[in-house]
Amino acid sequence: MHVEVRGLNKHFGDFHAVKDVNFGITKGHLIGLLGPSGGGKTSILRMLAGLETPDSGEIVFHGRTVNNLPPQEREIGFVFQNYALFKHMTVYENIAFGLKVKKANKHTIQNRVAELVELTGLKGFEKRYPHQLSGGQRQRVAFARALAPEPQLLLLDEPFAAIDAKIRQELRSWLRELIERVGITSIFVTHDQDEAIEVADEIMIINQGRLEQKGTPWDIYKEPKTPFVATFIGESTLIESAAELKGFHNTGGKPTKALIRPEYIEVGHLNEFKMASATEQGIVKHLHFRGSEWLVEVEVNGHKLVTYRSLEKETLTPGQEIAVLVHRAYLFNDERSWIQENG
Ligand code: ATP
């Protein structure tokens, strides 16, 4: 493991902000720390950086415990949302800054800056000052500056939060490619689940100071381990009593809730649907055209379920009776959670 964190805890006064967090990160992976505001993401990142001291726990980079090292000795690059560029320095000088601090010779600096300017698509902008750049270009300079001293780990705190939606989208794929080319282990904080799913090799879901789940975006989406993760990632409908759906009645005695994702619901005309034992009869309530597909709201036993249907298949009308089969649901009660497949 390139980065290992064991038993990490942090209090601010009486408030327990980070609760016994453990994880390991493989070299070269890009990890997204995802979760609601106030969950503890930034606190974890700041402890990794050495900007905050843990109450307990160990932080290990490449086999070396770094708890007692100051930030500048941890070989870390930062890109923070508000980690502004030096305004009075040109793009070249900003990128060269970390190398000058490390007392690299002039030749090395020139070569390394040229390399990074190329890598971050900033060729021709070397003599400009930050105020002569767009938000996206400024953020690319911030990446080049962070990478210049060849850090072992890159920490990014909401790096695109201040950038408008269109450019943000471009920067995401740009970042993905950049990290792959450089091969640097990176951790970024975001509260935007689309951003995390699209960019990260693995996601860590942080909620109320705890690491709820760590895994690939697909694993977390498909096999959520806690009700929080199941509701936080992806769209779903919550059914208060799973027993009211056919196929989900044998749920072990305890009152059980069900979360159902749209793509695990199949709907069809009553006369052409293969009627499995778990097939329900429902009513089409609403149809919303979404450009490439229809969003279909159906009512089953008084519960509203939402699913999608492709354009070509669309021959449904509101009020129509319809067959509904829920293939898969995430079930949970106050004791445990599990995934149940149907038909
Ligand atoms: P956001 O997405 O809003 O940045 P976050 O998940 O990064 O949230 P943190 O910034 O780590 O969360 O904060 C976790 C909790 O710790 C919050 O309740 C915050 O108010 C509290 N906290 C963070 N830093 C301090 C501090 N220096 N002093 C007191 N409380 C703090």
What are 94-132's pLDDT values in tens digits?
999 999 998 999 999 999 999 999 999 999 999 999 999
Instruction: Locate the ligand 1 atom nearest the alpha carbon of residue 189 and give its number.
Output: 7
Asked whether 38 lines ligand 1 (CB < 6 A), one says: yes
Q: ipTM of this predicted complex? A: 0.94
C-alpha count within 13 angstroms, C-beta hemisphere, residue 183: 1
Q: What is the Cα–Cα distance from 191 to 110, expressed in whole angstroms?
A: 37
In the chain, the percentage of residues whose pLDDT exceeds 90 is: 65
Contacting residues for 255 by C-beta, under 8 A, at least 6 apart: 241, 333
Task: Compute the CA torsion angle 224, 206, 30, 56 (nearest 10 deg).
Answer: -130
Q: What 3-state class would DSSP assign to 169?
A: helix
pTM of the predicted structure, to 2 decimals: 0.86
Q: What is the pLDDT of residues 186-204, one digit of tens each?
A: 999 998 898 999 999 999 9
Extract long-range pairs of 9-13: CB within 8 Å, 24+ residues apart. Answer: 9/54, 9/55, 9/56, 9/57, 10/40, 10/43, 10/47, 10/52, 10/54, 10/55, 11/55
Phi-psi region of 209 (alpha: psi -120 to 50; beta: other; left: phi over 0): left
List pLDDT tens digits, range 52-111. 999 999 999 999 999 999 998 999 999 987 657 999 999 999 999 999 998 999 999 999
Residues 201-223 pLDDT 10s: 999 999 999 999 999 999 999 99
Atom of ligand 1 minimally distant from the CA of 206: 6
Lowest mean pLDDT among 147-151, 246-250, 291-295: 246-250
Mean confidence (pLDDT) of the chain: 90
Q: Which atom of ligand 1 is nearest to the CA of 45?
A: 11
- Ordered DSSP codes for 99-147: HHHTT--HHHHHHHHHHHHHHTT-TT-TT--GGGS-HHHHHHHHHHHHH
pLDDT for residue 10: 98
Phi, psi at 223, each rounded to 5°: -125, 65
pLDDT digits (tens, 9 = 90+) for 227-249: 999 999 988 889 888 888 887 76
Nearest CA to ligand 1 atom 16: 17
- Using left for φ > 0, alpha for ψ between -120 and 50, and beta otherwise, residue 98 falls in alpha
Q: How many angstroms does the Cα of residue 41 sit away from the middle of ligand 1?
A: 8
40 C-alpha vs ligand 1 centroid, how far in Å?
6
Dihedral angle over CA of 31, 91, 151, 30, nearest 10: 10
Q: Which amino acid is at 54?
A: P
Q: Which amino acid appears at position 187 of this protein?
A: I
At residue 343, the pLDDT reads 61
Place of tokens 């993401």: 41
